[in-house]
């Protein structure tokens, strides 16, 4: 098992450039919006909100949203607050807390959401904290990627050690067992997404250097430097045009519902 370093230092370092470094998918937001369109007002929490890139989309798509942005990293919360304020939104508050042990008013939320963050905290603890905050029939939306999906993307296929380093992700059987153990939640929907991506070799190498995925922070500095030319060589063998490298990313959206 990979020894995971303290991720606070990593995310504090990348916070100013995080929105630019990461890809933000609008498709899960559209799906969530459709699920919540019957609500004239939405009270929600985004757990592991990062720099607020998904929070902006939530404000743009959900009805009269009242949002709590939760993250363990103070720098990320500062970025999210500044970002949303600059975009003209004010109906939010920030909460510095762990994703598996946050505390909100009981039965106060219509939904709890988390985007590409669940692998950073204890899954069962997250479910327990979220379930306490949900109203009757409230929902949890978990957008993530499975370990097998991670192994099939450009990094898992070609970057040395990426799949082995990233052992924090889960598979569905384990996720389903945690949900079943909660006794307060039911798995309502499993929605799979697939995205065709295109990037140049230069862009991919830059993503590594700016730690596009926190997985790259699991490499020692020398180890990462040694992996880069191998990654470049493998891509050169596979793709004829290194200015147009194409691959598919896969993600999954889990929709859980609280007992009524």
Cα angle 213, 131, 81; round to 5: 50
Residue pair 198/28 in contact by the 8 Å Cβ criterion:
no
Query: Does residue 187 belong to any structural domain of this protein?
Result: yes
Residue 2, pLDDT score: 39
pLDDT digits (tens, 9 = 90+) for 201-236: 999 999 998 877 889 989 998 999 999 999 999 999
Residue 127 domain flag = yes
Residue 2 lies in a domain: no
* Distance of alpha carbon 110 from alpha carbon 255, whole angstroms: 13
| Per-residue model confidence (pLDDT) at position 211 | 79
Scanning 107-171, the segments in alpha helix (DSSP H) are: 123-133, 147-151, 154-158, 162-165
Q: What is the mean pLDDT of the segment spanning 111-124?
A: 95
Residue 99 located in a structural domain: yes
User: Within a domain: residue 124?
Assistant: yes
- CA dihedral (152, 158, 161, 166) in degrees, to 10, reads -30
Sort residue 77 into left (φ over 0), alpha (ψ -120 to 50) or beta. Answer: alpha
Q: Is a pLDDT exceeding 70 seen at residue 3?
A: no
pLDDT tens digits along 153-188: 999 999 999 999 999 999 999 999 999 999 899 999
Q: Could you tell me what percent of the chain has a pLDDT over 70?
A: 92
pLDDT digits (tens, 9 = 90+) for 69-97: 999 999 999 999 999 999 999 999 999 99
In this prediction, residue 19 carries a pLDDT of 45
CATH number for position 180:
3.40.50.150
Rounded Cα distance between 11 and 226, Å, is 23
- Would you say residue 104 lies in a domain? yes
User: Is 1 a member of any domain?
Assistant: no
Residue 1 confidence (pLDDT): 35
Q: Which domain holds residue 251?
A: 7-258
Question: What local confidence, expressed as pLDDT, does residue 209 receive?
Answer: 86
The count of structural domains within the chain is 1
Residue 6 confidence (pLDDT): 53
Q: Is there a domain that residue 193 lies in? A: yes
């Amino acid at each position: 098992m990979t020894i995971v370093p303290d991720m606070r230092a990593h995310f504090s370092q990348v916070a100013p450039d995080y929105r630019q470094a990461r890809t933000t998918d609008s498709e899960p937001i559209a799906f969530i919006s459709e699920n919540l369109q019957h609500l004239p007002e939405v009270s929600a929490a985004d757990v592991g909100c990062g720099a607020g890139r998904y929070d902006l989309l939530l404000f743009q798509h959900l009805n009269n949203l009242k949002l709590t942005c939760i993250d363990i990293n103070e720098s990320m919360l500062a970025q999210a607050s500044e970002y949303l304020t600059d975009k003209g939104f004010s109906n939010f508050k920030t909460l510095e807390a762990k994703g598996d042990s946050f505390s909100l008013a009981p039965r106060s939320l219509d939904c709890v959401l988390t985007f590409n963050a669940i692998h950073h905290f204890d899954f069962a603890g997250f479910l327990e904290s979220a379930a306490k905050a949900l109203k009757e029939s409230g929902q949890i939306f978990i957008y993530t990627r499975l370990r097998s999906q991670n192994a099939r993307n450009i990094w898992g296929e070609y970057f040395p050690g990426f799949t082995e380093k990233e052992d924090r992700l889960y598979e569905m059987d384990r996720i389903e067992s945690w949900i079943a153990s909660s006794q307060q939640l039911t798995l309502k929907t499993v929605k799979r997404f697939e995205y065709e991506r295109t990037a140049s070799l230069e862009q991919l190498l830059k993503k590594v250097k700016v730690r596009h995925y926190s997985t790259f922070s699991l490499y020692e500095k020398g180890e990462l430097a040694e992996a880069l030319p191998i990654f470049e060589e493998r891509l050169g063998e596979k793709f004829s045009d290194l200015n147009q490298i194409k691959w598919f990313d896969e993600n999954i959206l889990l929709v859980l519902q609280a007992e009524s």
